[in-house]
Amino acid sequence: MGKEKTLYRALQALVWSGFAISSTYGTYFMQQKGIPLSIIGTATACAGLLSALLQAAVGHMLDEKLCTWKQHLTVAALMNAAILALLLLPGGRVGYALLFAVYIICLNTMVPVMNTACFYYARKGITIEFGSARAFGSLSYAIIALILGYLTGIFKEVSVPVTGMIVMIVTFLIVRSLPYYGADTSAAGQEAHKDRETGTSTDNFLRKYPYFIVMLIGFALILALHNVFNVYILMIIENVGGTSKEVGIATFISAITELGVMFGYGYLRKKFKAEHLLLFCAVFYCIRGVLYILAANVMTIYLIQLLQTVTYAIYGSASVYYSDEVMDEADKGRGQGLVGGTMTIGSVIGSLLGGFICERYGVHTMLGCATGLAVAGVVLICLSLRMHAKRT
């Protein structure tokens, strides 16, 4: 059983390392290839929209047993390695943007499937504490971001796809090593299969979980601000006199501060409901957005990055557990897919908003608009909590 826990932690570490390549340094890579910010934002947004659709579809496929989580992760890792290899070849700006968009799509579909694998093992009697496993993802994200900050200073943009390709090849090897014990034959799994056969979970999903959908819409707006922080961190730092090296340091700080919360999420989970933790982190996202607007130098940005502890560190674990807590067994795969889709819908909004507004009106206006969306998200999350309370 120790083997599953170790390999699963490695999987989390590697997949989230892939996001250091896509979100933190994807903008840098494409800018170095001469692609304007507005086009980068559009490409990223389209990738996010397609990701959201595919994440929901993949979740449905898992629920219907059309593929296994291991099969999907294997194919996605190989595809990403191939795409990153193609980015090393000479090409035009449109080709680079399209390839990077496909990489983002494949990577995004891996997240909910990876989360599903954790609960798959739990139903097999193998306990893998998600929070601590996710903490390894944050740690690796921090390390890769810091390393890339220095590598891009020496080898420029070529270091981005090379690093990503290595990460995806190792991910493939880890996925192949993860044990798979066949379809779920537990009592819960059999009940889920029965529900799927009757079509209940498909036909009545919106009526069964209206509060869940409202929560996801609210967090899509919150995560638009989160995406602006990540994708346009280079612009935010350049606005206060920094460079790509400082991007690596700032990203390292935010990612490393997640560790305490993620390792300790098991304790938080016993004390607070996931939905209340989600509201808490949403409020702090709004505070963080305001502080970014007021920031005057790189050191201030570094200090604001510490708020990752009470923003994404909580969301990263609480969102996964929230879905698992409120979904019937038959709908858990779809629930995880929709949670993953929320992240990518947020990336669509944030990418379009950030790309066009930053290019035309500047960093402060971009941050102000994104923070306004986050405030609207908090209102929707409060509404979701009220709806859920009435139903229970």
More confident residue, 344 or 176: 176
AA letter at 365: T
Q: How far is CA 392 from each of CA 194, 203, 211, 385, 388, rounded to the nearest angstrom? A: 24, 22, 11, 11, 6
Q: What is the pLDDT of residue 203?
A: 53
**Domain assignment present for 196:** no
Q: Where are the alpha helices (DSSP H) in the chain?
A: 2-19, 26-32, 37-63, 69-86, 93-123, 130-155, 159-177, 187-198, 200-203, 205-208, 210-231, 233-239, 244-256, 258-263, 265-271, 274-294, 298-305, 312-326, 332-361, 363-391
How many C-beta neighbours within 10 Å does residue 199 have? Answer: 9
**Domain assignment present for 306:** yes
Domain count, the chain: 1
**Domain assignment present for 262:** yes
Residue 392 banded pLDDT, cuts 50, 70, 90: low
**Domain assignment present for 188:** no
Please say if the pLDDT value at position 59 is more than 80: no
Please say if the pLDDT value at position 196 is more than 50: no
- Least confident window among 36-40, 42-46, 55-59, 198-202: 198-202
- Least confident window among 186-190, 321-325, 383-387: 186-190
For residue range 293-308, list pLDDT tens digits in order: 999 999 999 999 999 9
Please say if the pLDDT value at position 120 is more than 70: yes
Please say if the pLDDT value at position 336 is more than 80: no
Q: What is the pLDDT of residue 201?
A: 47
Q: What is the mean pLDDT of residues 110-131?
A: 83
Q: What is the pLDDT of residue 195?
A: 47
Q: What is the pLDDT of residue 184?
A: 58
Q: Which residue has the tokens 């908003």?
A: 353
CATH number of 25's domain? 1.20.1250.20
Q: What is the mean pLDDT of residues 241-257?
A: 84
More confident residue, 235 or 374: 374
205-242: buried (b, 16+ CB within 10 Å) or exposed (e) per residue? beebbebbbbbbbbbbbbbbbbbbbbbbbbbbbbbbeb
State CA 330 to chain mean position distance: 24
**Domain assignment present for 156:** yes
**Domain assignment present for 269:** yes
Q: What is the pLDDT of residue 185?
A: 54
- Least confident window among 64-68, 104-108, 162-166, 170-174: 64-68
Q: Where are the alpha helices (DSSP H) in 87-177?
A: 93-123, 130-155, 159-177
Residue 80 banded pLDDT, cuts 50, 70, 90: very high
- In terms of average pLDDT, the best of 160-174, 267-281, 328-342, 347-361 is 160-174
- C-alpha 327/C-alpha 314 separation (Å) is 20
**Domain assignment present for 222:** yes
- C-alpha 32/C-alpha 152 separation (Å) is 11
Q: What is the mean pLDDT of residues 267-271?
A: 84
**Domain assignment present for 194:** no
Q: What is the pLDDT of residue 286?
A: 96
Q: Which residue has the tokens 């903490």?
A: 135
Which domain range does residue 222 map to? Answer: 2-179+205-391
Angle at CA of residue 190, ends 188 and 191, nearest 5°: 65
More confident residue, 280 or 241: 280
- C-alpha 323/C-alpha 56 separation (Å) is 13
Percent of the chain with pLDDT over 90: 31
- C-alpha 371/C-alpha 98 separation (Å) is 29
Query: Residue 358 has which token pair?
Result: 């930053």
Q: What is the pLDDT of residue 192?
A: 47
Q: Round the average pLDDT of the chain to a whole number and report it.
A: 84
More confident residue, 297 or 51: 297
